[in-house]
Structures are given as structure tokens and as C-alpha cells.
């Protein structure tokens, strides 16, 4: 039987959502599938280590980071080649050793390095942007129980801002999918 606890701070503060604890990776996997099938859109799962295919169980789409990395890498490479072409053909056309102004073979190393530089910066900043990091505060940080997520606990949090959220129905759903603990979180 799942326990249900209310947060004593809630009368003073607004309800952020509901946090449910699960006993293991199999339980949270099945729970994620049920929450997804129930139609919730503003929810997330938290695990101490990666659980294989949990993103598919949650119904998450593929990450946009690879596309950002690809396009900014190409943009960096094109920019590097264009800068060298402009410098050697347009602005300072000097003949060196009877070579043509635009000798592309000499420009490959800089083009490659600028492509790699722009792609790596896109990966770093794109990941920070799409993961909404750094996040110095989150309402779940106030839950004592949630601190166990870094050790051996598995959680699902459903936000009250979800259009389908109804406190009693959400708590009942989480209990029915195997939550061992369910608590309200103030935000």
C-alpha cells in the first residue's frame, strides 16, 4: 500500500505538483508508460543511473542537440573557408610561389578546425540550453525524500501546471502504477 503525505507548507504556498517514489527501474519504466498513456505532458522521471529506453517509455522525442551541432559545425567550416577566401582573393591578393589566389588545399586545416570548434561550442551550449541548465532552484529540491535520487531512489514528478492535472486523480494514478510513496510538493 502506497503512503500518501501532504506537505505542511502547502496552505501558505502554491502547489507545484506531486512526487511519487518507485522501488526500482522496472517499476518506474512501467509507471512512465502508464503516465504517458494517461495523457500527462508536464512530468519527468528521475533515476540514480540511466535506465535503458526510459525516454521511449516517457514518449520523448529525439534530442535537437545533434542538429544544432551539425548545422553550427557546417557554418563554422563554411565561415572559415569564406574568411580565408576573402583574405587571399579579395582583400590581399598576393601571388605566392606562382600559386592561384584561392588555393583551397592550404585552407583545409583552418576550415576543419573552425568546424570542430563551432560544433563543440554548439554541443556544450546547446546541451545547457535544452537541458535548462544551470538550474539553481527547483521545487523538488525542497523534498527530503527526493534527495535519495542521487543514491538509489526512483521518482516521477507531475506538475500541477499540466492541463490534465487533478490532485486526487493524479495521486490515484501514481498509486495504481506502483508508487511506494506519494507526496505533494509546494512551489
Owning domain of residue 22 = 3-59+154-186
Whether 53 and 72 map to the same domain: the answer is: no
52-76 burial, b at 16+ Cβ within 10 Å, e below that, comes to eebeebbeeeeeebeebbeebbeeb
Q: What is the pTM of this model?
A: 0.77
pLDDT tens, position by position, 74-99: 999 999 999 999 999 999 998 888 88
pLDDT tens, position by position, 20-73: 999 999 999 999 999 999 999 999 999 999 999 999 999 999 999 999 999 999
Q: What DSSP state is assigned to residue 146?
A: G
Whether 47 and 69 map to the same domain: the answer is: no
- The verdict on residue 102 lying in a domain is yes
Whether residue 134 has a cis bond before it, omega within 30° of 0: yes
Whether pLDDT at 135 is above 90: no
* Domain total in the chain: 2
Whether 123 and 180 map to the same domain: the answer is: no
- The verdict on residue 142 lying in a domain is no
Task: Quote the distance between the C-alpha of residue 87 and its chain's center.
Answer: 40
Amino acid at each position: 500500500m502506497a503512503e500518501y503525505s501532504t506537505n505542511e507548507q502547502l496552505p501558505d504556498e502554491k502547489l507545484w505538483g506531486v512526487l511519487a517514489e518507485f522501488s526500482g527501474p522496472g517499476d518506474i519504466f512501467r509507471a512512465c508508460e502508464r503516465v504517458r498513456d494517461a495523457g500527462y505532458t508536464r512530468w519527468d522521471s528521475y533515476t540514480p543511473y540511466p535506465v535503458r529506453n526510459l525516454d521511449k517509455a516517457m514518449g520523448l522525442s529525439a534530442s535537437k542537440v545533434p542538429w544544432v551541432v551539425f548545422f553550427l559545425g557546417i557554418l563554422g567550416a563554411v565561415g572559415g573557408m569564406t574568411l580565408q577566401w576573402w583574405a587571399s582573393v579579395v582583400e590581399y591578393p598576393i601571388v605566392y610561389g606562382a600559386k592561384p589566389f584561392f588555393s583551397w588545399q592550404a585552407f583545409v586545416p583552418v576550415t576543419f578546425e573552425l568546424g570542430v570548434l563551432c560544433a563543440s561550442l554548439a554541443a556544450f551550449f546547446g546541451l545547457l540550453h535544452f537541458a535548462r541548465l544551470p538550474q539553481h532552484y527547483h521545487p523538488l529540491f525542497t523534498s527530503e525524500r527526493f534527495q535519495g535520487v542521487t543514491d538509489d531512489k526512483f521518482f516521477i514528478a507531475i506538475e500541477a501546471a499540466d492541463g490534465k492535472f487533478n490532485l486526487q486523480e493524479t495521486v490515484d494514478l501514481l498509486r495504481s502504477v506502483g508508487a511506494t510513496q506519494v507526496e505533494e510538493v509546494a512551489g
